Structure 1
Amino acid sequence: MAEVATSATPDQLLVVIDPVAREADGESVRIAKDVLGAGAARMKLCLPEGPEEFARALRRRGSRRPVVVGDDRALLRAVAVLHRQRELAACALAVVPVGADLGLVRSLGVPAGAVAAARAALDGTERRLDLLVDDSDGVVLGAVGIPPLDGPEAEGERAPKVPVRSWVRTCRSLVRTLTAARPVRSARSVPLAGPGPARLRVEVDGRMLVDLDQPVAGVSLAPGDAGLAEVEVRPVSVGAEASPLTAAGRAVTVSGAHFRYRADAMVSGPVRTRTWVVREGAWGLRLPG
């Protein structure tokens, strides 16, 4: 793990550069490092080789503000580490998006370019954001989808384009990143629901939205406004298309036959039941003022 100190303004930063970002786009990483180094009073630069070093750097950050250079998975991993340490509420994160999977980061309002994102990390305003915490202590920043989308992208397997000589190292880094961001339960011999409609019970704040007797094409939920989760259930209909069922609440429980679900960049399961609870203003992100 490399460390660098620079000087300029009162801010002290911990800049953690994800290994996948270094492999995917070294030029953007260099630009981000230069801009951050020129604008911070002191900068500690960390180049972790795996999830353990990544987590250790965040735990030992002291009074430094953390800046993550990486993709959606790197941001999710940082939030998960701070959540497990119960330090998320007091820590304002910043992220410079580098990599192939950036849909979540961009949806949060982070600038796409390395220069603009680095300047937001230095001079931006902290915005408090809601998140979902499930009953296995996993965190969700964006949305949950049940069932997950089909195809390799839904399994979180899309990798950034890298030179052939770096392919093995990048794949190993991706596996380490996915493992650290969110543990995935082994399916082993658990029977899964087959393709087609699912039968799920969805409860919002203890009120039934749909029961097992109504097959559904899908369920989605995400943090909404005023500390509530927005829930949408798409029933299966015969003939005319059925209107989605919607609700908002602080706690959402989904149960039924063993099902998988996609939470942000990760596919998890199978589980028979899962509850997500909204944590209002639980984390802070530096965004352009």
Structure 2
Amino acid sequence: MATSATSEQLLVVIDPVARQTDGESVRIAKDVLSAGATTKVCLPDGPEEFARALARRGARRPVVIGDDRALIRTVALLHRQRELAGCVLSVVPVGSALSLAGALGVPTGAVAAARAVLDGVARRMDLLVDDSDGVVLGALRIPPVSLREAPLEEPLPSTSDGHGHASWLRTCQSLVRTLVPARPVRDPLAVLPRPRPARLRIEVDGVTLVDLDQPVEGISVTPCASGLAEVEVRPVSVGAEASSLVARGRTVTVSGADFRYRADAGVWGPVRTRTWVVREGAWGLTLPA
């Protein structure tokens, strides 16, 4: 559902990271917004000032100039304040991490995004809310379990017989290093062990899609139409490639051994169980008309 966006009074909150990484785009966005609407500009220095600026917005429509993390932080703050449903949020993406904003339909150019704030429409978006009151705007993914990284080099032994031989040994070792060409430094990624499959129980609306006895290579949960989430599970293939298992529902529960998950721009966990519920039309975002 879309409604016309008003641009009479705007609270423009500029994330400090955006000011540091691309001050020119910040200036351009601020100029475009100020030319088209009555604006109050806030320059918070940290998360606490950012939160206070949002809390004191009054009737002004909040506009965040920043990257994906700033967008996620804003939605999470409004959700915790229980003010998300009655608020329409606008964003001008500035920074290095802009993939989430782009996937949501926000232009990633400063001028186009600022014009969308002024002339766009407010669209209601679904949201994933977990049992710890965390929010997910886009997709979440549970990757395979990573094994502990092995040390790259064996430490040199520390030997001493009480007569200073340890110091003598270190001197000899130092001399040898100066005479013998150094070994090439190994790429740390080259020695990382391959992730092992995860053993997790995935339930969609109370129905078990995959149980602990079926190892999986990955899981994705993505909000889709009509207040539902699409769950895709990729089982471990034996011989021929295994087909993905797909289901849709409003509630998704993952449990089993400790696991981490990627949600929007962050990695969370480890946790043993987590439940996500789709909130239909939970938040509003201004997008191009």
Same fold (TM over 0.5): yes
Asked if the contact 2:93/2:109 (under 8 Å) is kept, the reply is yes
* TM-score, L = length of structure 1: 0.80
Judged with a 3 Å threshold, the aligned counterparts in structure 2 of structure 1 residues 147 and 67 are, in CA distance, closer, same or farther, namely same
Q: 1:113-128, aligned counterparts within 5 Å?
A: 113-128=109-124
Q: Secondary structure in 1 aligned to 2:227? A: coil
Letter in structure 2 aligned against 1:24:
T
Q: 1:232 maps to which residue?
A: 232
Q: 2:205 maps to which residue?
A: 205
Asked if the contact 1:202/1:209 (under 8 Å) is kept, the reply is yes
What's the CA shift string for 1:6-48, capped at 9, x where partnerless?
xxx96100000001100110000000000000111x2110000
Asked if the contact 2:261/2:267 (under 8 Å) is kept, the reply is yes
Deviation at 1:149, TM superposition (A): 9.9
Runs of 4+ in structure 1 off by over 3 angstroms are none
Equivalent-residue separation in structure 2 for 1:93 and 1:231 (angstroms): 27
Q: 1:217 maps to which residue?
A: 217
Letter in structure 2 aligned against 1:47:
L
- Asked if residue 32 in structure 1 is aligned to residue 17 in structure 2, the reply is no
Q: 1:6 maps to which residue?
A: none
Percent identity of the aligned residues? Answer: 77
The root-mean-square deviation of aligned C-alpha atoms, in Å, is: 1.4
What's the CA shift string for 1:86-137, capped at 9, x where partnerless?
0001110010010000000000111121111001111110010001000000
What's the CA shift string for 1:216-256, capped at 9, x where partnerless?
00110010111000000000021000000000000000001
**How many residues are paired up?**
237
Q: 2:14 maps to which residue?
A: 17
Q: 1:5 maps to which residue?
A: none
Q: 2:83 maps to which residue?
A: 87
Asked if the contact 1:36/1:119 (under 8 Å) is kept, the reply is yes
Q: 1:167-206, aligned counterparts within 5 Å?
A: 195-206=195-206
Task: Give structure 1 stretches of 5+ with no counterpart.
Answer: 1-8, 151-193
Equivalent-residue separation in structure 2 for 1:90 and 1:283 (angstroms): 8
Judged with a 3 Å threshold, the aligned counterparts in structure 2 of structure 1 residues 37 and 250 are, in CA distance, closer, same or farther, namely same
Q: 2:48 maps to which residue?
A: 52
* TM-score, L = length of structure 2: 0.80
Asked if the contact 2:145/2:197 (under 8 Å) is kept, the reply is no
Deviation at 1:147, TM superposition (A): 2.0
Equivalent-residue separation in structure 2 for 1:147 and 1:275 (angstroms): 17
Judged with a 3 Å threshold, the aligned counterparts in structure 2 of structure 1 residues 78 and 136 are, in CA distance, closer, same or farther, namely same
What's the CA shift string for 1:193-230, capped at 9, x where partnerless?
x9310000000000010000000001100101110000
Asked if the contact 1:148/1:262 (under 8 Å) is kept, the reply is no
Task: Give structure 2 stretches of 5+ with no counterpart.
Answer: 1-5, 147-193
Letter in structure 1 aligned against 2:102:
R
Letter in structure 1 aligned against 2:221:
L
Q: 1:105 maps to which residue?
A: 101
Asked if the contact 1:260/1:271 (under 8 Å) is kept, the reply is yes
Letter in structure 1 aligned against 2:252:
V
Q: Secondary structure in 2 aligned to 1:86? A: coil
Asked if the contact 2:144/2:198 (under 8 Å) is kept, the reply is no
Q: Whose Rg is larger?
A: 2
Equivalent-residue separation in structure 1 for 2:145 and 2:22 (angstroms): 27
